[in-house]
Chains A and B, each alone.
Chain A
Amino acid sequence: DAKTTQPTSMDCAEGRAANLPCNHSTISGNEYVYWYRQIHSQGPQYIIHGLKNNETNEMASLIITEDRKSSTLILPHATLRDTAVYYCIALRGGANSKLTFGKGITLSVRP
């Protein structure tokens, strides 16, 4: 599975959009980009995933560059409850692959 690289931390103001970047320059054609988040002392929560098209659900949007070497998770209106560690993972689809959670990016939403 391709390695992903994320900044260590970022912050944003409540009510503003939070744009979380992720680099995956060695991603292969059959690997999806998955995003999970972990609020302090809780289990991780699935957010969204995509292959090459942009995706949107009730939680977030995922923008994947045309060359698929990077992506951005967008939380359109961040709230204090969105403060968490966000993990970007590149993983093959179609099989029970092993999720590998690195250190992720810590998002702090300030009032």
Chain B
Amino acid sequence: DGGITQSPKYLFRKEGQNVTLSCEQNLNHDAMYWYRQDPGQGLRLIYYSQIVNDFQKGDIAEGYSVSREKKESFPLTVTSAQKNPTAFYLCASSPDREGAKNIQYFGAGTRLSVL
């Protein structure tokens, strides 16, 4: 099936530890995004990438890092510098054709908690 796969579904981080969230898509989309959602809140953009080997900071990039070495993959690392990482993390992708660039397809999310 075509879609976006996020793993793991649940993740626990120890103090001072870096953790990496996986996001893979087989939709052949050029653009990919990472969002964070806190309880009862909307989504906030962490990073986005419009093409392989290029990415831009979103609104809340501090304490996070990403890479885009392959079109299908856009992993997010939550570093120890992110002091409040507990949240629901969502990955999305969108096509690059006119009229559809803002139609984003989302994964099922990863819930990150701090031990």
Contact = CB atoms under 8 A, between A and B. Distances in A.
Interface of A: 32, 34, 41-46, 49, 87, 91, 93-104
Most B CB atoms within 10 A — which of A93, A95, A98?
A98
B41 interface: yes
A95 B99 CA distance: 9
Sorting the interface of chain B by its residue count into under 10, 10 to 19, 20 to 34 or 35 or more gives 20 to 34
Interface of B: 4, 31, 33, 35, 40-43, 45, 48, 50, 58-59, 88, 90, 92, 94, 96, 98-99, 101-109
Sorted nearest first, the 7 A-B pairs with minimum C-beta distance are A43-B106, A101-B42, A101-B43, A102-B42, A46-B103, A44-B106, A96-B31
A95 B104 CA distance: 12
A32 B31 CA distance: 19
A101 B90 CA distance: 12
Contacts of A45: 106
Q: Is the interface of A mostly helix, strand, loop or mixed?
A: loop
